[in-house]
Amino acid sequence: MRFAGIDIGSRTIELVVVDAAGEIVCSLQTDTGFDPMTAAKKLIREVHYDRILATGYGRSLFEVSFDAATVTEIKAHARGARVFFPEALTVLDIGGQDSKAIALFANGKVKKFEMNDRCAAGTGKFLEIMARTLGFEIADFGREALLAEKDLNISSMCTVFAESEVTSLIAKGQSRREIARGLHASVIRRAAGMINRVSSQGAIVFTGGVAKNPCMATLLAQKLGREILVPDDPQSVGALGAALLAGHSMSAV
């Protein structure tokens, strides 16, 4: 049998299919776009599966559209992270729309979590908007920030006010790279605070699209003094976790 997990995020949709042994059969990704259910339908048409489990911000809509079961992003990322790092007890997931710090028991079950989902601050959307304001491509934003000799303090975490603050710094002739590093540091301060409230020691598995940003991983390690573990494809961790949970729920029937 084959089990699928689909993670419908604000920017991208990931689909992972695993076999009965939990081995990955295929992994697909597409942009969410303005019609996420049409995008999701195109993805699932490309694969064969016996059961599917949806996660991500669009999971409720998927549940209605495709009569499918769902699982929270917390559980999905916790399960997926343990595939790559079986001993991990802490997971940080930063996606386009929200961020989550998750503490796990030794058996992998969720122990405690904190979530920021009320504004764009501390998320991929915040970094995307700031990259555009500074004239960087989002794919290059983290690498450029790492080249800065120092970071400039960004006092506002509200996206609207931070954008205004960045525009003012540019007008004063400040280095774009140093502003970029300061913006990354402001996101890290918020993420570190969430992590410290759920977990105080040990390595941290960094998942979600923002985990692909090298400056984020570097500054997080410096801020917390803890090892940061990034899976090869951090964006697909939630979908993988959902697929594995789909298989587990089937075996439990």
Which CATH number characterizes residue 12's domain? 3.30.420.40
Q: Under a CB-based contact definition with an 8 Å cutoff, are residues 216 and 20 in contact?
A: no
The number of domains in the chain is 2
* Domain, as residue range, for 185: 88-230
Verify that 96 and 180 share a domain, yes or no.
yes
Verify that 65 and 189 share a domain, yes or no.
no
Verify that 224 and 157 share a domain, yes or no.
yes
Verify that 35 and 109 share a domain, yes or no.
no
Verify that 14 and 122 share a domain, yes or no.
no
Verify that 4 and 63 share a domain, yes or no.
yes
Verify that 242 and 160 share a domain, yes or no.
no
Verify that 39 and 148 share a domain, yes or no.
no
Verify that 153 and 219 share a domain, yes or no.
yes
pLDDT by residue, tens only, the chain of 253 residues: 999 999 999 899 999 999 999 999 999 999 999 999 999 999 999 999 999 999 999 999 999 999 999 999 999 999 999 999 999 999 999 998 889 999 999 999 999 999 986 666 778 999 999 999 999 999 999 999 999 998 888 877 777 888 899 999 999 999 999 999 999 999 999 999 999 999 989 999 999 999 999 999 999 999 999 999 999 999 999 999 999 999 986 554 3
Where do the DSSP E strands lie in the chain?
2-8, 12-19, 24-31, 51-55, 69-70, 90-94, 99-104, 110-116, 204-207, 228-229
